[in-house]
Amino acid sequence: QVQLVESGGGSVQAGGSLSLSCAASAHTYRIYSMGWFRQAPGKEREGVAAIESDGYTAYADSVKGRFTISLDKDKNTLSLQMNSLKPEDTAMYYCAADFRLETAVAITAGRLPGSVEFVHWGQGTQVTVSS
């Protein structure tokens, strides 16, 4: 079992930047995959970015070139640097983790896994981007 705690959300104007962090209670060396998802009111949860233990990453088309996901295994911390934020990035952002090899293989192949492919979830942190 792993507990995930997100931080770093807030409000920013369009064009601004925010950095999200996710602290994992378990050693991330044991976690094959971690990712960020978001959910706006009235919409389904969608994948934003994912990373597997060897550093391979996958991103949603809507955030490519603006967001960067990274994993610090020594600090058991997942991060998401968000630049050039847009109002449509407004959502609750969730951190997720998975121990299964198949989820990591998907990321290695360049595919962003869906929410059903992650077992462990944080409580979320709100990001609001105003125009």
Statement: residue 28 has pLDDT above 70: no
User: SS3 of 12, please?
Assistant: strand
Q: Tell me the torsion sign for CA atoms 117, 20, 55, 73.
A: negative
Number of CB atoms found within 10 A of residue 23's CB:
15
Decide if pLDDT at 70 tops 70: yes
Residue 29 has pLDDT above 70, yes or no: no
Nearest to 55 by CA among 37, 38, 72, 67: 72
Q: How confident is the model at residue 31 (pLDDT cuts 50, 70, 90)?
A: confident
Residue type, 55: G
Maximum Cα–Cα distance across the chain: 41
The average pLDDT across 114-125 equals 95
Share above pLDDT 70 across residues of the chain, in percent, rounded to a whole number? 98
| Tokens 């389904």, residue located | 44
User: Residue 107 is inside which H or E element, if any?
Assistant: helix 101-108
Report strand pairing: 125-130 vs 10-13. parallel
User: Cα 56 from chain centroid?
Assistant: 14
Q: What is the mean pLDDT of residues 42-67?
A: 97
Average pLDDT over residues 66-78: 93
pLDDT score, position 1: 76
The residues that bridge with 128 in the sheet, in sequence order, are 11
How far CA 49 is from CA of 10, 74, 82, 130, in Å, comes to 19, 21, 11, 22
